[in-house]
């Protein structure tokens, strides 16, 4: 659309998994601003702070514009030819098991698809992962097992049909603000909102019932609710009998005395009467929906937590119906897509197992190669970081696209040791991130406004990015960089794409759930939600309406026992630390801290501490304090408040000058390998100068 010399290019927000759309306002190859696009249904022209200013980092003076090669510890500008020559020589010198790739939940589906194809066909390794490992890997593991599909069962708009929305482990109003708006619209239509969180967040403040729980007690809370529902006969027996299996074992577990409301109340720190009210509302409101996010998943029992959430919603018959469902809110704009595209060590795109010979043969045929990575799952990013430290020399080379583990991963001293032990590392990014500092070669990439592509939001909706301007300097889109390296390594035929739509067409050929999509169909402002198995299929708003996606079509109840976090408090570290985000910033701050408006609002981090805990420690609001865990300490400003549970402290993880992840624990969930960001033992002290 062209108005008075300005072009309005429709595209999608690069920040959270809500997937709001807007117009980029462009003149003379510069993005001047953002204007509402009212037609797409998710946000109807409305945006949160981050989306409103999503253009401000694009022309930052810090953008990478030329390849850089490290020489004697200093980055020196190079040509693309020089950088590629070095990369190809090094990549060719390693065995498949010595290489690992990290894809990016910020990049497009096309780029993520190519990254895993590159890992598997060119490098012949399944060591490919991305930051979903750190946010929703338990969702993928647990929901794939119990429902047959590891994604949000319902849709954002559909939340308005709900009569009761149970939000647990999600600060929806700050992290997914335009989904928060749907909660308000549901409330206006009479829905009751329940929020369980250790912090009295903006989401909790909108709730009709706030459950102030201790971090790390989710399974106890959920089992307690189910105990009370069963005790009162409020379960949906018809749904349980016809649609599920495993009910008896699950019931035996939750009906133990340890899960009656009296015991649970003490453990989770919530009055018995509030637990009883929550159980009654969830069971009796028809339909009820459940929303969760990283408060559920970022635990050593993340998979158990998700299975428990699924148990509750199957018990009350709240799956497969409008206004119901298990609704994990995915963090980054394309974390759903990066998983769908197979940027995980055990699956190709569409969650087709690398261990399945039929899938392997299909991939080799469509990719036109005689050999790909073997049929064993590769290492996760968390396992890779541990191996780099514990068994130096086992993994020697890292290829990173847009990832920043040096701020996002737990126990940053451990991450530093891991990155220092890498023999050769390539980082492809739009800025020189904290992680890129460790690279041997840095390749300048294009941002969302400078390329075409698709990405998949939290409700499985595949939407378009449209190129508005050229990348700065010599920067190139990630898909082109990967294709050029593959070509130089002898795979020019397999990576001979001229434009992004050709990659998408290949994605639809290999990925059954995307089979009915193409760029033309995605031009519609409603785009398409997967599964979309054929070209006439309208896409799927609600999963599991008739049967689950499991082999036998039944949903699986699981008996889950509560287990404490890996690290509990003691006299030396008496406070539970939990981490999260601010509404003004995004992840490691590489983009939002380079946005003038967002940076001006919140310039640095803080530690939230309850007023009573602060009083005991003699700490005043605004005072600089030292926060320590068994892994390290940081100095940070105290925010004394009553909006957090006594005994808990909270730090946002965006800020490199006071990085919360120096403190967090890299103990992992045994199945999903996600670290326990949401509960570790810590202490807060006055700084004596
Ligand atoms: Fe962007 Fe998420 Fe805000 Fe929407 S809610 S504008 S997708 S950050």
Kindly state the tokens that stand for 492.
């020019």
Range of the domain at 676: 575-686
Ligand 1 centroid distance, CA of 178 (Å)? 6
- Residue owning the nearest CA to atom 2 of ligand 1: 16
The per-residue pLDDT for range 60-90, each reduced to its tens digit, is: 999 999 999 999 999 999 999 999 999 999 9
Q: Which of 265, 296, 328 is the last residue of a domain?
A: 328
Evaluated on CA atoms 471, 473, 479, 480, the torsion sign reads positive
Mean pLDDT of the chain: 93
Mutate to test the pocket of ligand 1, among 11, 41, 43 (most ligand atoms within 8 A of CB): 43
Q: What is the pLDDT of residue 587?
A: 80
Query: Is the distance from CB of 439 to CB of 70 less than 8 angstroms?
Result: yes
DSSP sequence for 92-120: HHS-GGGEEEE--TTS-HHHHHHHHHIII
Whether 179 has a pLDDT exceeding 70, the answer reads yes
Say how many Å lie between the CA of residue 117 and the centre of ligand 1. Answer: 30
In angstroms, rounded to a whole number, what is the distance separating the alpha carbons of residues 124 and 111? 18
Arithmetic mean of pLDDT, 472-476: 97
> What's 121's DSSP letter?
I
CA of 51 to the centre of ligand 1 (A): 5
Q: Whose CA is nearest to atom 6 of ligand 1?
A: 51
Output the CA 166–ligand 1 centroid distance in Å.
21
**Both 165 and 314 in a single domain?**
yes
Q: Which of 232, 243, 314, 325 has its CA nearest to residue 287?
A: 325
CA 676 to mean position of chain CA atoms: 14
Let me know whether 319 and 338 are in one domain. Answer: no
The count of structural domains within the chain is 4
Whose CA is closest to 474, among 102, 107, 7, 68? 68
- Name the most confidently modeled range: 467-476, 573-582, 655-664: 467-476
Residue 562 included in any domain: no
Please check whether residue 63 lies inside any domain of the structure: no
Any domain includes 680: yes
In terms of domains, do 97 and 158 share one?
Answer: no
CATH (domain of 20): 2.20.25.90
Who lines ligand 1 at CB under 6 A? 13, 15-16, 18-20, 43, 47-48, 50-51, 176-178
Q: Is the same domain home to 260 and 385? A: no
Give pLDDT, residue 273: 97
List beta partners, residue 328: 292
Tokens of 560: 């889950």
Q: How many CB atoms lie within 10 A of CB 70?
A: 15
State residue 658's pLDDT score: 87
* Residue 350 C-beta-side C-alpha neighbours within 13 Å: 20
Same domain, 81 and 48: no
Calculate how far, in angstroms, residue 174's C-alpha sits from the geometric centre of ligand 1. Answer: 10
- Tens of pLDDT, residue by residue over 132-156, are 777 778 898 899 999 998 889 999 9
Pairing between β-strand 648-652 and β-strand 665-668 as defined by DSSP bridges: unpaired
Nearest CA among 30, 20, 27, 19 for reference residue 1: 27
Sign of the four-CA dihedral 295, 290, 226, 249: negative
Let me know the angle formed at the C-alpha of 149 by 143 and 155, rounded to the nearest 5 degrees: 95
Q: How far is it, in rounded angstroms, from Cα 128 to Cα 185? A: 40
CATH of the domain at 458: 3.40.50.740
Domain shared by 351 and 466, yes or no: yes
pLDDT at 1: 63
CA–centroid distance, residue 598 to ligand 1 (Å): 13
pLDDT value of residue 582: 84
Grade residue 689 by pLDDT with cuts at 50, 70 and 90. low
Q: What is the mean pLDDT of residues 103-120?
A: 96
Q: Is the pLDDT of residue 477 over 80?
A: yes
Pair 469, 492 in one domain: yes
Same domain membership, residue 8 and residue 36: yes
Residue 584 tokens, joined: 């003004």
pLDDT at position 662 is 87
CA of 650 to the centre of ligand 1 (A): 23
Q: What is the residue with the minimal CA distance to atom 4 of ligand 1?
A: 20
Taking the centre of ligand 1 as the mean of its atom positions, its distance from the CA of residue 197, in whole angstroms, is 22
| Domain boundary, last residue among 474, 494, 529 | 529
Q: Is residue 548 part of a domain?
A: no
pLDDT given at position 88: 98
Last residue in a domain, options 306, 328, 350: 328
> What proportion of the chain, given as a percentage, has pLDDT over 70?
99
**Nearest residue (CA) to ligand 1, atom 3:** 48
Q: Which is nearest to 598 in space by CA: 23, 47, 104?
A: 47
Which H or E run contains 86? helix 80-93
Checking if the pLDDT of 130 tops 70, the result is yes
Query: Of 9-18, 188-197, 306-315, 578-587, where does mean pLDDT reach its minimum?
Result: 578-587
Testing ligand 1's pocket by substitution, the residue of 23, 24, 51, 334 carrying the most ligand atoms inside 8 A of its CB is 51
pTM for this entry: 0.92
- Residue whose Cα lies nearest atom 1 of ligand 1: it is 51
Report the atom number in ligand 1 closest to the C-alpha of 179.
Answer: 5
- Residue 49 CA, closest ligand 1 atom number: 3
566 belongs to a structural domain: no
Give per-residue pLDDT as tens, 312-333: 999 999 999 999 999 999 888 9
Q: What is the mean pLDDT of the segment spanning 598-624?
A: 93
Looking up tokens 């569409």 gives 350
CATH code for position 612 = 2.40.40.20
* Same domain for 276 and 159: yes
Residue 496 within any structural domain of the chain: yes
Average pLDDT of 568-588?
89
Q: What is the pLDDT of residue 376?
A: 92
| Residue 547 domain flag | no
Do both 282 and 212 map to the same domain?
A: yes
User: Could you write out the three-class secondary structure of 598-630?
Assistant: HHHHCCCCEEEEEHHHHHHHCCCCCCEEEEEEC
Q: What is the CATH number of the domain that holds 293?
A: 3.40.228.10
* Strand, helix or coil for residue 124: coil
Looking at the structure, tell me whether residues 346 and 424 fall in a common domain.
yes
pLDDT digits (tens, 9 = 90+) for 369-412: 999 999 999 999 989 999 999 999 999 999 999 878 787 777 88
User: How many Å separate Cα 26 from the centre of its chain?
Assistant: 30
Atom number of ligand 1 nearest to Cα 52: 6
Burial of 199 per CB tally in 10 Å (0-12, 13-18, 19+): buried
| 215 within 8 A of 565, measured Cβ to Cβ | yes
Tens of pLDDT, residues 351-361 = 999 999 999 99
**403 Cα: distance to centroid of ligand 1 (angstroms):** 20
The rounded Å distance from CA 520 to ligand 1 centre is: 25
Atom index in ligand 1 nearest the CA of residue 22 equals: 6
Tokens of 385: 């970081």
Q: Is 148 left (phi over 0), alpha (psi -120 to 50) or beta?
A: left
- Establish if 122 belongs to a structural domain: yes
Substitution candidate for ligand 1 out of 16, 35, 330, 459 with most atoms within 8 A of CB: 16
Same domain, 46 and 75: no
pLDDT at 158 over 70: yes
Residue 546 Cα to ligand 1 middle (Å)? 32
């Amino acid at each position: 659309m062209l108005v008075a010399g300005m072009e309005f290019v429709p595209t999608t927000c690069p920040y959270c998994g809500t997937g709001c759309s807007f117009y980029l306002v462009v003149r003379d190859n510069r993005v001047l601003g953002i204007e509402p696009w009212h037609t797409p249904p998710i946000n109807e022209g409305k945006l949160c702070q981050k989306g409103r200013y999503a253009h401000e980092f694009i022309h930052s003076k810090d953008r990478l514009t030329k390849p850089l090669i490290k020489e004697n510890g200093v980055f020196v500008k190079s040509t693309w030819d020089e950088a590629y020559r070095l990369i190809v020589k090094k990549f060719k010198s390693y065995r498949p098991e010595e290489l690992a790739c990290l894809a990016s939940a910020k990049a497009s589906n096309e780029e993520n698809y190519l990254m895993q194809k590159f890992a598997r066909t060119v490098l012949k390794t399944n060591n490919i992962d991305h930051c979903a490992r750190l946010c929703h890997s338990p969702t993928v593991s647990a929901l794939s097992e119990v429902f047959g599909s590891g994604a949000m069962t319902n849709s954002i708009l559909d939340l308005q049909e709900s009569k009761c929305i149970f939000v647990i482990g999600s600060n929806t109003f700050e992290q997914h603000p335009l989904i928060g708006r749907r909660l308000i619209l549901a409330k206006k239509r009479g829905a009751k909102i329940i929020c369980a969180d250790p912090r009295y967040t903006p989401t909790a403040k909108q709730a009709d019932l706030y459950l102030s729980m201790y971090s790390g007690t989710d399974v106890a809370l959920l089992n307690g609710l189910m105990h009370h529902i069963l005790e009162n006969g409020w379960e949906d027996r018809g749904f349980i009998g016809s649609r599920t299996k495993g009910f008896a074992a699950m019931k035996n577990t939750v009906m133990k005395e340890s899960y009656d409301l009296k015991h649970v109340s003490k453990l989770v720190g919530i009055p018995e009467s509030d637990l009883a009210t929550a159980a009654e509302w969830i069971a009796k409101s028809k339909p009820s929906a459940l929303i969760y996010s990283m408060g559920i998943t970022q635990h050593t029992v993340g998979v158990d937590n998700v299975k428990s959430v699924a148990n509750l919603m199957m018990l009350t018959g709240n799956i497969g119906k409008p206004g119901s469902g298990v609704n994990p809110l995915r963090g980054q704009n394309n974390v759903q897509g990066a998983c769908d595209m197979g940027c995980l060590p055990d699956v190709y795109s569409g969650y087709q197992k690398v261990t399945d010979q039929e899938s392997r043969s299909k991939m080799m045929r469509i990719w036109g190669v005689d050999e790909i990575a073997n049929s064993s799952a590769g290492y996760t990013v968390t396992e890779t970081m541990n191996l780099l430290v514990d068994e130096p020399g086992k993994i020697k080379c890292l290829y990173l696209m847009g990832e920043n583990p040096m701020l996002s991963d737990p126990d940053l001293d451990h991450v530093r040791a891991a990155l220092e032990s890498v023999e050769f590392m390539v980082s492809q990014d739009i800025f020189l991130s904290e992680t890129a500092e460790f690279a041997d070669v840095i390749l300048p990439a294009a941002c969302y406004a400078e390329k075409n592509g698709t990405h998949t939001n939290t409700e499985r909706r595949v939407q378009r990015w449209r190129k508005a301007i050229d990348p700065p300097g010599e920067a190139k889109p990630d898909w082109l960089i990967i294709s050029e390296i593959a070509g130089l390594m002898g795979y020019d035929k397999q990576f001979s794409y001229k434009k992004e739509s050709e990659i998408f067409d290949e994605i639809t050929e290999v990925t059954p759930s995307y089979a009915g999509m193409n760029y033309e169909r995605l031009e519609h402002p409603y785009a398409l939600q997967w599964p979309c198995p054929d070209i006439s299929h309208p896409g799927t708003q609600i999963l599991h309406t008739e049967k689950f996606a499991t082999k036998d079509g039944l949903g699986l109840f699981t008996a889950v026992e509560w287990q404490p976090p890996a690290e509990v408090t003691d006299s030396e570290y008496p406070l539970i630390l939990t981490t999260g985000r601010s509404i003004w910033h995004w992840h490691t701050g590489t983009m939002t801290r380079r946005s003038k408006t967002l940076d001006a609002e919140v310039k640095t981090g803080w530690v939230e501490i309850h007023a009573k805990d602060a009083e005991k420690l003699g700490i005043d609001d605004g005072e600089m304090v030292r926060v320590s865990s068994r892994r390290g300490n940081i100095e940070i400003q105290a925010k004394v408040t009553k909006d957090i549970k006594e005994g808990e402290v909270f730090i946002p993880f965006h800020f490199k000058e006071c990085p919360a992840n120096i403190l967090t624990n890299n103990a992992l969930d045994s199945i999903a390998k996600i670290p326990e960001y949401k509960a570790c033992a810590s202490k807060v002290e006055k700084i004596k100068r």
